[in-house]
């Protein structure tokens, strides 16, 4: 698999595979987000997912993939710090503002900063048509946030700090997207990076949520474990897919395409969770999808 991927790097076929991986990651990311909703605190659900990811990937990292090169360990340290910062900021934003307002702002800010970061770090550039696609996508995402903002009635007094934290969280999304892309390109075998990523990333949330985990009733542990295992498998496909996409193709294009997860999340909420989706939200979600399409067609 590693040699096959290496043969695709820098080729048109590799770019096509990267786009397919980014789109699949968007779908799986929406499923991953929906999976964290339910009877448990999202921190508890995420802790269960990360514990499974750590447990499943530790033997792979130790005994299956090639051992990381010495220069990778500082990169892994950076991965831990950046992702920990992102998760703390995300939790702070969600604790102060409604999810339907905060989430689009986070996901809309992320690709904008990621495109800029990819230009600075990897020398990538977007043409005028692609920037137009980014503008259309962002107008849909931020329009969705504004629409939700007008219709919520709770936590309005804390929305200003929540939105500020959402923008900062989006900046961290761009930071980890760019840094992870740098990391997965820095090792000879991309699966070495992926295996150690899930091992390192799986430590923070379980540690932070350890007291909350103690409050889970004994009768719920089996259900929580099953949900965590499913979430870990989805995370391997979602986060692993987007990281492989950034190795094979352009980081900026992959980041933009991933944010169509906002559309898929809304569809899941409508079809599976019984959430209401009116005509205005449909139009805004259409803008998000159209923007992503324009970015790809204008490349």
CA distances, 219 to each of 60, 209, 224, 226 (Å): 31, 19, 10, 13
- Rounded CA-CA distance 39/33 in Å is 14
Sign of the Cα torsion 80, 82, 84, 86 reads negative
Quick: pLDDT tens for 131-160. 888 888 888 877 877 776 777 665 566 667
Task: Give me the helix-helix angle, 261-271 and 12-35, nearest 10°.
Answer: 40
What is the model's pLDDT at position 278?
A: 67
Sign of the Cα torsion 97, 99, 103, 104 reads negative
- Rounded CA-CA distance 119/124 in Å is 4
Quick one: pLDDT band at residue 273, thresholds 50, 70, 90?
low
Task: Give me the helix-helix angle, 221-248 and 12-35, nearest 10°.
Answer: 160
Which tokens hold the place of 112? 């904008």
Residue 21 near residue 255, CB atoms below 8 Å: no
Highest mean pLDDT among 1-15, 40-54, 224-238: 224-238
Quick: pLDDT tens for 56-112. 999 999 999 999 999 999 999 999 999 999 888 887 887 777 666 677 777 777 777
Helix (H) or strand (E) holding 244: helix 221-248
What is the model's pLDDT at position 162?
A: 79
The pTM of this model reads 0.83
């Amino acid at each position: 698999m590693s040699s096959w991927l290496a043969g695709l790097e820098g080729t048109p076929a590799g770019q096509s595979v990267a786009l397919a991986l980014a789109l699949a990651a968007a779908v799986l990311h929406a499923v991953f987000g929906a999976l964290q909703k339910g009877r448990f605190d999202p921190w508890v659900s995420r802790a269960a997912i990360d514990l499974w990811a750590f447990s499943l990937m530790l033997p792979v990292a130790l005994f299956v993939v090639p051992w990381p090169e010495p220069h990778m360990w500082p990169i892994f340290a950076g991965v831990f710090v950046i992702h920990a910062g992102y998760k703390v900021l995300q939790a702070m934003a969600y604790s102060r503002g409604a999810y339907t307002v905060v989430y689009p702002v986070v996901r809309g800010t992320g690709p904008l900063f990621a495109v800029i970061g990819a230009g600075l770090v990897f020398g990538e550039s977007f043409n005028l048509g692609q920037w137009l696609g980014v503008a259309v996508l962002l107008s849909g995402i931020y329009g969705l946030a504004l629409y939700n903002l007008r219709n919520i009635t709770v936590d309005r007094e804390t929305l200003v700090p929540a939105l500020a934290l959402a923008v900062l969280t989006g900046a961290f999304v761009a930071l980890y997207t760019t840094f992870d892309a740098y990391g997965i390109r820095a090792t000879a075998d991309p699966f070495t990076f992926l295996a150690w990523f899930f091992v390192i990333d799986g430590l923070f949330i379980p540690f932070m949520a350890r007291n909350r985990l103690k409050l889970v009733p004994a009768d719920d542990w089996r259900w929580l474990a099953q949900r965590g295992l499913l979430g870990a498998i989805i995370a391997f496909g979602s986060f692993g897919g987007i990281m492989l996409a950034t190795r094979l193709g352009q980081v900026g294009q992959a980041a933009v395409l991933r944010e169509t997860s906002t559309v898929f999340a809304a569809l899941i909420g409508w079809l599976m969770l019984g959430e209401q989706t009116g005509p205005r939200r449909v139009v805004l979600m259409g803008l998000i999808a159209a923007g992503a399409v324009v970015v790809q067609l204008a490349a």
